[in-house]
Amino acid sequence: MSAKALERLEQRFAECVLETHDFRGDETAVVDRAAIVDVASWLRDEPDLAFNMLTDMTAVDWLLEGREPRFEVVYQLYSVEQRHRLRIKVQVPEEDPVVDTLTRLYGIADWLEREIWDMYGIRFKGHPNLKRILLYEEFVGHPLRKDYPKEKRQPLVRRPENEIADVLARRGKARPLPQPPPRSAR
């Protein structure tokens, strides 16, 4: 339905649209990273496209597939008036994981970009308050990156005996378990 939008985008930003595809209505355009703010503001303000709603924004880590560049940021746009959708992707390299912010165009981008920073460690240039949104400030690393260890825990508090057990384990002693009392009184 938004094939028209895809065509118009390709005409308007011929040099910035790296790739497009549409299969049964999932129109997608891969856009140059530097042009994302221009593309999004044009898509939002053009009267017959009017993509005035950023329904979702997420990222993909292609580490295990070995794809270059490693990250991709995905924007899902919707037009309330025209009732059509468009997906915009931006490729982000691992060594410079920065994308320009969309907070000046879409208010919701504030929290969505904070979530992507929290989970993937992709920074958004110009964001007014780029800090963790779901995890705590003490957390080290970005858990949805594919190289984050699956079993890794970063607890904020531990029971005292667990802390003692940790110390003993570090010294190579066996980990003592707390013993319940005998069940005689039951």
Partner 1 sequence: MGLEFETGRLADAVNWARKFSLFQYPFVTACCGMEYMALWGPRYDVARFGAEFPRFSPRQADMLMVVGTVTERQGPVLKRIYEQICEPKWVVSFGVCASSGGFYQNYATMPGIDHIIPVDVYIPGCPPRPEAIIDALVMLQEKIQSGRGWSQRQYFVEQERRRLGLDQEGGRQ
Q: Is residue 29 a contact residue for partner 1 (CB under 8 A)?
A: no
Q: Which of 47, 39, 38 is nearest to 20 (CA)?
A: 39
Element (H, E) at 28: strand 28-31
* Contact set for partner 1, span 109-138 (CB under 8 A): 134-136
- Applying CB under 8 A, the span of 25-33, 62-70, 104-112, 146-154 interacting with partner 1 comes to 146-154
How near is the Cβ of 53 to partner 1 at its closest, in Å?
A: 29
Q: By CB under 8 A, tell whether 146 contacts partner 1.
A: no
155 touching partner 1, by CB under 8 A: yes
Nearer to partner 1, 84 or 121 (CB): 121
In this structure, what are the phi and psi dihedrals at residue 63, rounded to the nearest 5 degrees?
-55, -45
Query: How far is residue 109's CA from residue 101's CA, in Å, rounded to a whole number?
Result: 8
Quick one: how many helices (H) and strands (E) in the chain? 4, 7
Segment contacting partner 1 by CB under 8 A, of 40-48, 71-79, 103-111, 177-185: 177-185
Residues that bind partner 1 (CB under 8 A): 134-136, 143, 148, 150-165, 167-168, 176, 178, 180-181, 185-186
